[in-house]
Amino acid sequence: MALFVLGLLTYLPYHVVKHDSRMEHKRLTVEVDNMKAGNEVLRRENERLRMRIEAIRSDPRLLERRARERLLMAHPEEKILVFPKEEEAPLAKAAAPADPASGQEPAPSADPAPGPVGAP
């Protein structure tokens, strides 16, 4: 009995002084839960990508469509028209009609207007 009391008297003060162990446990538990949630998000993303890869491998139409869109591939009898994006077409802004309310004319473009190929 005396040994039990002695053990209790030494353990309780140590545990009280070391009270931050509960807070550390709680912090680590929250961290583990956050990591588990992050792992689940990554697991779903991996599964989505795995299904997408399988679809591209098994469906030749999807593979052809991707090649046409991303690599600008075409059949020999087809022609590809590529239009510039908005930020790649500075002439589109310069050639915009004047705002009638401001009374300003549009700035002339530095390049001549494109004409038919081979025209002088």
Q: Residue 76: what pLDDT?
A: 86
Of 80, 60, 78, 59, nearest in space to 69 by CA: 80
Cα 28 from Cα 26, distance rounded (Å): 5
Mean pLDDT, the chain, whole residue set: 75
What pLDDT band is residue 113 in, cutting at 50, 70 and 90? Answer: very low
Provide the CB-side half-sphere exposure for 105 (13 A, CA).
3
Q: Is residue 43 predicted with pLDDT exceeding 60?
A: yes
pLDDT reading at 64 higher than 70: yes
Whether 90 and 84 have beta carbons less than 8 Å apart is answered as no
Contact 96, 106 (CB under 8 A): yes
Tokens of 78: 């087809």
pLDDT at 15: 66
- pTM for this one? 0.42
Rounded to whole angstroms, the Cα distance separating 116 from 100 reads 31
